């Protein structure tokens, strides 16, 4: 799991370059032979991307459900502090004891 970032750092630019290269080929040589060549050389990419769609959708739904659960938990259990209490300074124990003893 630790190497996921390294995998994405390599795989995403490679896939992006492959797609960009296919677009450039279609722009500069829009023929049937070009489409045949791209289909012959890019079919593994289509299979890999197709296999990644289902886990990607599942991961997206899982993250969305976790965010919703966290939002519901916060709404139910987190009580906001009133403004008056939040604006008062916090006294340390030593200052509290010193104030109770009176002036020296």
> Tokens 């009133």, residue?
82
Question: 54-84 pLDDT, tens per residue?
Answer: 888 998 999 999 999 888 888 877 766 555 5
Closest among 59, 45, 39 to 12, alpha carbons compared: 45
Q: What is the count of structural domains for the chain?
A: 1
101 pLDDT higher than 90: no
Can you tell me the distance from the alpha carbon of 71 to that of 77, in angstroms, rounded to the nearest whole number? 10
Average pLDDT, the chain: 78
Domain of residue 11, residue span: 4-101
Element (H, E) at 57: helix 32-77
The confidence score (pLDDT) of residue 66 equals: 92
93 pLDDT higher than 70: no
The model's pTM: 0.43
């Amino acid at each position: 799991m630790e190497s996921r970032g390294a995998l994405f750092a390599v795989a995403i630019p490679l896939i992006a370059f492959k797609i960009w290269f296919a677009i450039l080929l279609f722009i500069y040589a829009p023929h049937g032979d070009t489409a045949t060549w791209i289909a012959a050389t890019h079919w593994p990419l289509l299979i890999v991307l197709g296999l990644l769609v289902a886990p990607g959708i599942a991961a997206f739904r899982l993250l969305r459900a976790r965010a919703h659960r966290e939002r519901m938990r916060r709404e139910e259990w987190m009580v906001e502090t009133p403004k008056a209490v939040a604006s008062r300074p916090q006294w340390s124990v030593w200052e509290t004891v010193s104030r109770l003893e009176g002036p020296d």
